[in-house]
Amino acid sequence: MAAGKLPEACDAFEASNRIEPRAGTLIRLGECREQNQQLASAWSAYKDALTRVKDPRKKEIAVAKVASIEPRLSYLTVSVADEARIDGLSITRNDKPLDPGLWNRAIPVDGGTYTVGGSAPGHEQWRTTVEVPPEGGKVAVEVPKFKEMIKLVEPPPEGPKPPPGGGAIGPTAETPPGGGAFTGKRKLALGLGGAGLVSIGVGAIFGSKASSSENDAFALCPDPNMGCAKAAEANKLIQDGKSQAMIANISYGVGAAAIIGGAVLWFTGGPEKASGPRVSIRPRIGSSTGIDVRVRF
């Protein structure tokens, strides 16, 4: 201590007091702490000396030291309001637990930097740092109401993954009306629509031929009430025209039925839901041309 190595000297006095507590050692420790500007530690050492001292002279020294240091002490108050007190609350000062009996009390402390923290189960941790002056400081720390921790929400299960090599995921059970994936029915609808257009085209060709045959027959025999040298040729043209007209009518009917059936299949042929009507379409050719639609529930 005489050499100015105050930290080493104070440690040596503390070690000596642990081995054999004595009032004289505590007074020397108090003097060391006082010179090192650790007034609260010095004051505490002098007060401890008073509990052991028997020598009147040493007692007089300890009493005088306590009286002289006490007005110069710095104090730190850790305030914990009632609304901040929750189950399992723990307060620390410089990472050491602070006894609840010392909460809301002005405690003498040495000057320096202090970190006050707190924690409680299910709540966010809290920390703050304050600076206490070596002499005459009165610093208070207000412990806030702890925030509850945000509970983590389980992520939703992963959806279907794309097939290997990329590509879109297949359609779901819910498909917007009038659109959606090309199901088997819709592929058939496209086929029927194409066949219907071809059939109507064939009907148009044979209709044109029938009209031409009829015109040629009337060109050979303009007046049916009069004899005609080319009557046989004209009659053949008329018969050919009737055959061509029948083929044209059948082609028109089949084409129209195919297009209508394709349209019905397209609008009813989206991806099926769990339950629903079943529709079947069949073209009818014979004495009467048309389509048969069967709906099964």
Fold of 73-143: Immunoglobulin-like (2.60.40)
Report the percentage of the chain scoring pLDDT > 70: 73
Residue 150: per-residue pLDDT = 65
**pTM of this structure:** 0.49
Range of lowest pLDDT (92-96, 140-144, 231-235, 275-279):
275-279
pLDDT at 104 over 60: yes
Q: For residue range 238-282, list pLDDT tens digits in order.
A: 788 788 788 878 877 887 887 887 777 677 766 655 455 565 666
How are strands ordered across the β-sheet holding 126-132? 96-97, 90-93, 112-119, 126-132
* pLDDT-based confidence at residue 284 (cuts at 50, 70, 90): low
* DSSP of 109-123: E-SEEEEEEEE-TTB
Contact between residue 135 and residue 101 where contact means Cβ atoms under 8 Å apart: no
Mean per-residue pLDDT over the chain, rounded: 81
Distance CA 246, CA 288 (A): 12
Cα–chain-centroid distance for residue 72? Answer: 58
By CB atoms closer than 10 A (0-12, 13-18, 19+), residue 85 is: middle
Q: How many CA atoms lie within 13 A of 215 on its CB side?
A: 6
pLDDT at 217 over 60: yes
Q: What is the mean pLDDT of residues 58-69?
A: 95
Q: For residue range 6-45, list pLDDT tens digits in order.
A: 999 999 999 999 999 999 999 999 999 999 999 999 999 9
Q: What is the mean pLDDT of residues 180-209?
A: 76
- Which CATH number, 1.20.1070, 1.25.40, 1.50.10, 1.20.120, labels domain 6-71? 1.25.40
Residue 273: per-residue pLDDT = 57
Range of lowest pLDDT (88-97, 98-107, 147-156, 210-219):
147-156
Mention every residue, 6+ apart, whose C-beta is less than 8 A from residue 228.
220, 221, 234
Position 253: which residue type?
G
Contact between residue 74 and residue 87 where contact means Cβ atoms under 8 Å apart: no
Q: Where are the beta strands (DSSP E) in the chain?
A: 74-80, 90-93, 96-97, 106-109, 112-119, 126-132, 138-143, 278-284, 290-296
Strongest mean pLDDT among 93-97, 230-234, 276-280: 93-97
